[in-house]
C-alpha cells in the first residue's frame, strides 16, 4: 500500500511516498522535472517486497513546495537530510534517476555518514555533450497549458523517447505531473525557471573531482537505448558511464533495456530490480 506523507524540512514542506514495511531502507530521488511517482514501474515490478522504499518529490516538483529560490545541489541535499532526520534514519541506501543520481553522488561526497550504498540510475559525472538540447522536449512541456489531461497525455505519448514504448504503469507519474483546473485544462506543476536553476546548479558542480572521494559501494545502471527518434544517441553513453564507474573507488556497472525514460518500466524495471537485489 502506498502512503503519501509530508514533512517540514529546510524551511519547505516536502512530499514523499512510502512503500513496504520491512527490510533495508532505500530512498529514491527522481529526475530533473519528474516526481516521486516516476519509480512506480519499479514498485510494480516488486521493489517494495523486500525493502522499505521512500520516493521523494524534490523541491519545486510534485506536491512539494516551490520556493522562488534554492535549487542548488546543496539546497536539495539539505532537504533530504531533513527528511532522514525526521524519519529517524541515520544511514540509508540512497539512489536516484538522472538528476536524482547526481544528487546521490553529491550527498555521498558531502554527507558520507548518511549514505550506506548508492544506486545511480542513468547519470554520471559527464553526460552526453548535447544533454541540454536532448532535454528540450521534456522542459518544453513546462511552459504549456493543455485543454485536458487526455490532450496532455496524448502529446506525451507522441514524444520520440516514448514512441511505441508506452506502459500503463507510467500513467500515475503523468497524473502527478500536472495540476487540474476548474475549466478542465491542466498545466505541469513544475515551473521552468526552477528547473533551469536546478540544471545550472547541477552543471556547476565539479563532479569529476568528487568521484575519488566517494568510497561508498555503488552501482551505476545504464540504459543505452536511443533517447529520441530511431538512431538518436542515449542520454548517457556507455563510455561516459564507465568513466564514472572506473573513477569511483567501489562501483559496479550494469546495462539494462530501454532508454533514459523507459528503463524505469516493464522489462527495464524487471532488470533494474534484479540488479538492485543482487547489489544489496
Q: What is the pLDDT of residues 175-216, one digit of tens each?
A: 999 999 999 999 999 999 999 999 999 989 999 999 999 999
Average pLDDT, rounded, for the chain:
94
Q: What is the pTM of this model?
A: 0.96
CB 251 within 8 A of CB 220: yes
Instruction: Give backbone dihedrals phi and psi of 127, rounded to 5 degrees, phi first.
Output: -105, -175
Give me the domains of the chain, ranges plus CATH numbers.
3-129+192-279 (3.40.50.1820)
**Cα dist from 193 to 55, 78, 96, 182, 196, whole Å:** 24, 21, 22, 25, 5
Count how many Cα atoms sit within 13 Å of the Cα of residue 177 in the half-sphere of its side chain: 23
In tens, the pLDDT along 223-276 reads 999 887 677 889 899 999 999 999 999 999 999 999 999 999 999 999 999 999
User: 92-116 pLDDT, tens per residue?
Assistant: 999 999 999 999 999 999 999 999 9
Residue 125 pLDDT greater than 90, yes or no = yes
Grid coordinates standing for 17?
511516498
Q: What Cα–Cα distance (Å) separates residue 67 from each residue in 12, 151, 160, 197, 258?
A: 8, 29, 32, 12, 34
- Which secondary-structure segment (H or E) carries 255? strand 251-256
Amino acid at each position: 500500500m502506498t502512503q503519501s506523507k509530508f514533512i517540514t524540512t529546510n524551511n519547505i514542506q516536502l512530499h514523499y511516498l512510502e512503500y513496504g514495511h520491512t527490510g533495508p531502507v532505500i530512498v529514491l530521488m527522481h529526475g530533473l522535472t519528474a516526481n516521486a511517482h516516476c519509480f512506480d514501474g519499479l514498485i510494480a515490478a516488486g521493489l517494495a517486497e523486500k525493502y522499505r522504499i521512500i520516493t521523494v518529490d524534490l523541491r519545486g516538483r510534485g506536491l512539494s513546495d516551490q520556493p522562488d529560490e534554492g535549487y542548488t545541489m546543496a539546497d536539495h541535499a539539505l532537504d533530504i537530510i531533513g527528511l532522514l532526520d525526521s524519519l529517524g534514519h541515520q544511514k540509508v541506501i540512497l539512489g536516484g534517476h538522472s538528476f536524482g543520481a547526481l544528487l546521490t553522488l553529491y550527498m555521498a561526497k558531502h554527507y558520507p555518514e548518511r549514505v550506506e550504498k548508492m544506486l545511480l540510475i542513468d547519470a554520471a559525472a559527464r553526460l552526453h555533450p548535447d544533454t541540454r538540447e536532448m532535454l528540450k522536449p521534456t522542459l518544453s512541456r513546462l511552459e504549456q497549458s493543455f485543454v485536458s489531461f487526455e490532450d496532455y497525455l496524448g502529446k506525451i505519448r507522441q514524444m520520440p523517447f516514448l514512441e511505441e514504448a508506452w506502459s500503463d504503469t507510467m500513467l500515475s507519474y503523468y497524473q502527478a505531473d500536472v495540476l487540474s483546473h476548474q475549466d478542465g485544462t491542466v498545466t505541469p506543476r513544475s515551473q521552468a525557471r526552477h528547473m533551469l536553476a536546478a540544471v545550472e546548479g547541477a552543471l556547476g558542480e565539479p563532479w569529476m573531482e568528487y568521484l575519488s572521494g566517494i568510497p561508498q559501494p555503488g552501482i551505476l545502471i545504464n540504459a543505452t537505448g536511443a533517447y529520441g527518434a530511431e538512431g538518436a544517441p542515449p542520454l548517457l553513453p556507455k563510455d561516459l558511464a564507465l568513466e564514472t564507474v572506473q573513477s569511483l573507488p567501489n562501483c559496479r556497472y550494469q546495462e539494462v533495456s530501454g532508454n533514459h525514460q523507459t528503463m524505469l518500466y516493464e522489462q527495464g524495471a524487471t532488470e533494474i530490480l534484479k540488479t538492485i537485489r543482487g547489489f544489496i
